[in-house]
Amino acid sequence: MSNSAGMDLFIRDNQFWLVRFLQNKLKLHCHHDAQDLSQDTFIRALTSSTDLLEVKEPRAYLATIANRLIIDKARRKRIEQAYIEAQTEMQQEQAPSCETVLETMQRLEALSRLLEGLADKPRRAFLMARLDGMKYKEIAAQLNVSESMVQKYIAQTLLHCHSQLME
């Protein structure tokens, strides 16, 4: 079987299951939303470095990717919502231009993509330090770790970002 035929079979064997999984997980009533997310999941799987024909548990693999996409989507939505809320608090004459808003959103999405694949605590520590302006001591208390661990998390995140940018 050719690689292309194997990929077609992989998608056909798992597509219906993935759509149902997403509908149940997200309590979606709209079949189209689950299909969109399943398509994004397959795109992510097909563009990954993993040989899908060698995956022993394809549904678990797809569920992991789908869950990460759901988390990314929720994170993007929270970022957008926080940004919108901050904008509504500003007076109209102080509001940034549409170009500035777009540029800021693009930078936040790029940062979100850079942080993909990073463990939760290092990512949170980095965001608390860089976006929220929190001190290491405050972050340590929030994450229930030592300040030296926060320093390690920040260093780990910076190395991760650097390696992502080098790719």
Q: What is the pLDDT of residues 84-129, one digit of tens each?
A: 887 777 655 576 778 888 888 888 888 888 888 888 898 889 888 9
Separation CA 15–CA 31 (nearest Å): 13
Note the pLDDT tens digit of each residue in 11-46: 888 999 999 999 888 886 677 888 889 999 989 888
Query: Contact, 121 vs 153, CB < 8 A?
Result: yes
Which residue's entry shows tokens 């397959």?
42
Instruction: Provide CATH 1.10.10 ranges for the chain.
Output: 115-167
Instruction: Indicate the CATH number of 115-167 among 2.130.10, 1.10.10, 1.20.1250, 3.30.200.
Output: 1.10.10
- 59-76 pLDDT, tens digit per residue, is 999 999 999 988 888 888
Rounded Cα distance, 150 and 145, in Å: 7
User: Rounded to an integer, what distance in angstroms lies between the CA atom of residue 13 and that of residue 59?
Assistant: 10
